[in-house]
Amino acid sequence: MTNKLNSNNLTKSEEDYLKALFQLLIESDSSKVGNNQLAEYLKVSPASTNNMIKKLKAKAYVVSEKYGKLDLTEEGRSIAVRLIRKHRLWETFLCNYLNFTWDEVHEVAEQLEHVKSRKLINELDRFMDYPKKDPHGELIPGADGDYSVLPKVMLSSLSEGDVCKLEAVNDGSVNFLKYVSEIGLVLSSEIKVLEIREFDKSIRIEFNNVVETVTRKFADNVFVKKIT
Amino acid sequence: MTNKLNSNNLTKSEEDYLKALFQLLIESDSSKVGNNQLAEYLKVSPASTNNMIKKLKAKAYVVSEKYGKLDLTEEGRSIAVRLIRKHRLWETFLCNYLNFTWDEVHEVAEQLEHVKSRKLINELDRFMDYPKKDPHGELIPGADGDYSVLPKVMLSSLSEGDVCKLEAVNDGSVNFLKYVSEIGLVLSSEIKVLEIREFDKSIRIEFNNVVETVTRKFADNVFVKKIT
DNA sequence: TAAATAAGTTAGCCATGACTAACAAATTAA
DNA sequence: TTAATTTGTTAGTCATGGCTAACTTATTTA
């Protein structure tokens, strides 16, 4: 019970900053997030970020001391989670009903997540029968604002001979997502680690009776559940 | 074949002005549309409108002479029609799949129509199996950019004894739409004109075995097809 | 046709959210 | 522990899209 009626009057920019800060806080667990880091993430100048952070502090969505690290208030966090909920629900809709591919959804969902209507998103959720995961395998936060993450095991952390199931992929790069689709990997694919080459840490994997060699960088962005 | 690749880089405001001008040009058939009229329609000052019209003229979407009336170029018209297509497709989606009511759709569709993705709108169209009319009975322009209007017969233009079918309603006012729903009128309702009162032009109508008295103003916003 | 009114334009202001350049504080390395 | 580097802040600029107030041109109407 954080807010009265949630009269969400934020601009698109304010929403973008809150969501970005939330993502950074999640990713860099415990290591604090700074102004320039946020600027780089959003591809804007540190000055712009500094300016926006001032506004968000005034609105009590962000806290930080001068020259100190950034953090979200409960209210700021709650707004960010709702944005992520919207983003992932839209991605799910685009993939499951409108024939979008993994690499196409992000840009459009980025626009759709700023549409303001409580009813819209809750009805969309109902229409799709309350999906648990988005197309990349990430958990979709519920209407209650709960945010949780799947324990992430990188494909690159496995050993030769291990067998695993594809659980999620990092959705940060369009080129990566295209690549994943192109070689034929989909969620739930069973992957066997055939060999890890010492020289460059590249990995030979087998899935769906196909053998591929992927780089360490690729394997860092593929999240799996170990089977054996 | 009006444009090369349609790299639609318009701002939300530019789109709003183009769409508004198009609507005004359609409504006030032949009588020209002026700057202040557009300003009033958009609820902004004449100065703001003047300013934006300058921009749109520079981009060759609008034509007008100094102190003269406004008109759209082919390209401007085409953009406006695509916006109306998007608006009406989203309204249809909201009503038919997400349980929105007539009076709720407009505000949300107003936001959704600005989402930029050719694929999104064409896939949405396909998903709904290419609907011909939006929830208010208006024709949805096709992907080819054709815009046509149903011949509009106002309920208020009928005579006592006439029987007609509800074809469309004016979607300009939330309160009107709520009112229409509340008394139980839906598209295709069969309406009989029982009596037209000379005193105030109010009309007694019968539909679905209900008798209601509606004002002239109400009947001006209800469009029908005469049966007998 | 001259005065009144309506319609359109211009100048100048404001807020938002970008930017660069210059500066201050904090951190790291020598 | 001082110097170099990184990080954060401030000041001032720009574009967008609003606004008001003042002005000009067109159109009515007396």
Q: Which of B100, B123, B149 is the last residue of a domain?
A: B149
Give the model's pLDDT for residue B58: 96
Q: Say yes or no to pLDDT of A219 above 80.
A: yes
**Residue B108 and residue A100: Cβ atoms within 8 Å?**
no
The SS3 of residue B165 is strand
Give the model's pLDDT for residue B30: 67
The answer to whether B124 touches B160, Cβ cutoff 8 Å, is no
Chain A residues within an 8 Å CB radius of B112? 112, 115
Residue A91 belongs to a domain? no
Percent of chain A, pLDDT > 70?
A: 96
pLDDT in tens, B73-112: 999 999 999 999 999 999 999 999 999 999 999 999 999 9
- What's the CA gap between A63 and B22, in Å, rounded? 47
Residue B116 belongs to a domain? yes
Residue with tokens 């060999």: A195
- What's the CA gap between A38 and A28, in Å, rounded? 12
Number of domains in chain B: 3
Q: What is the number of other CB atoms lying within 10 angstroms of the CB of residue A205?
A: 25
| Same domain membership, residue B105 and residue B53 | no
Q: Say yes or no to pLDDT of A4 above 50.
A: no
pLDDT tier at A159, thresholds 50, 70, 90? very high
| Same domain membership, residue B130 and residue B101 | yes
Residue A2 CA distance to nucleotide C7 C1' (Å): 51
- What's the CA gap between A182 and A24, in Å, rounded? 29
Give the model's pLDDT for residue A3: 38
The SS3 of residue B148 is coil
- CATH number of the structural domain spanning residue A207: 2.30.30.90
Those residues whose C-beta lies under 8 Å from the C-beta of residue A176, and which sit 6 or more positions away, are: A169, A170, A218, A221
- CATH number of the structural domain spanning residue B18: 1.10.10.10
Which of A108, A120, A124 is facing B120, going by the closest CB pair?
Answer: A108
Comparing C-alpha atoms, which of A59, A51, A54 is closest to residue A3? A59
- What's the CA gap between B206 and B155, in Å, rounded? 12
Residues of B with CB under 8 A from a CB of A: 94, 97-100, 104, 107-108, 111-112, 115-117, 119-120, 123-124, 127
The helix (run of H) or strand (run of E) holding residue B191 is strand B190-196
Closest-CA residue of chain B to A122:
B98
Give the model's pLDDT for residue A228: 86
**Residues 42-71 of chain B: which lie with beta carbon within 7 Å of strand D?**
43-48, 51-52, 55, 67
Q: Which of A72, A92, A121 is the last residue of a domain?
A: A72
Tell me which residue range forms the domain holding B21: 12-72
Residue A129 CA distance to nucleotide D30 C1' (Å): 71
pLDDT tier at A7, thresholds 50, 70, 90? low
Residue B210 CA distance to nucleotide C20 C1' (Å): 70
Residue A184 CA distance to nucleotide C29 C1' (Å): 48
Which bases in strand C are touched by protein, i.e. have an atom under 7 Å from a CB?
Answer: 7-12, 16-22, 25-26
The SS3 of residue B222 is strand
Residue B101 belongs to a domain? yes
pLDDT in tens, A173-197: 999 999 999 999 999 999 999 999 9
The residues of chain B scoring below 50 in pLDDT are 1-6
| Same domain membership, residue B103 and residue B68 | no
For A101, the token pair is 């591919």
The Cα-based distances of B44 to A3, B48, B67, B114 in angstroms read 33, 6, 19, 19
Instruction: Write the DSSP assignment of chain A as a string of letters.
Output: ---SS------HHHHHHHHHHHHHHHHS-SS-B-HHHHHHHHTS-HHHHHHHHHHHHHTTSEE--TTS-BEE-HHHHHHHHHHHHHHHHHHHHHHHHS---HHHHHHHHHHHTT---HHHHHHHHHHTT--SB-TTSPBPP-TT-----PPPEEGGG--TT-EEEEEEE--S-HHHHHHHHHHT--TT-EEEEEEE-TTT--EEEEETTEEEEE-HHHHHTEEEEE--
- What's the CA gap between B61 and A125, in Å, rounded? 39
Comparing C-alpha atoms, which of A89, A126, A121, A87 is closest to residue A107? A87
**Residue A117 and residue B124: Cβ atoms within 8 Å?**
no
Residue B1 belongs to a domain? no
| Same domain membership, residue B128 and residue B158 | no
- What's the CA gap between B154 and B170, in Å, rounded? 10
Give the model's pLDDT for residue B2: 37
Residue B78 belongs to a domain? no
Residue nearest to nucleotide C19 (CA to C1'): A45
Residue A127 belongs to a domain? no
For B11, the token pair is 């701002």
Chain B residues within an 8 Å CB radius of A99? 123
Give the model's pLDDT for residue B31: 74
**Residue A100 and residue B115: Cβ atoms within 8 Å?**
no
Q: Which of A72, A87, A119 is the last residue of a domain?
A: A72
pLDDT in tens, A121-149: 999 999 999 999 999 999 999 999 999 99
Residue B82 belongs to a domain? no
**What average pLDDT is seen over chain A?**
94
Residue with tokens 């009903």: A97
For B89, the token pair is 């497709």
* CA-derived radius of gyration, chain A: 19
Q: What angle do CA A174, B89, A139 make, to 5 degrees?
A: 40
pLDDT in tens, A25-51: 998 876 799 999 999 999 999 999 999
Residue with tokens 């799996």: A224
| Same domain membership, residue B160 and residue B217 | yes
Residue B6 belongs to a domain? no
- What's the CA gap between A60 and A73, in Å, rounded? 7
- Tell whether pTM > 0.85: yes
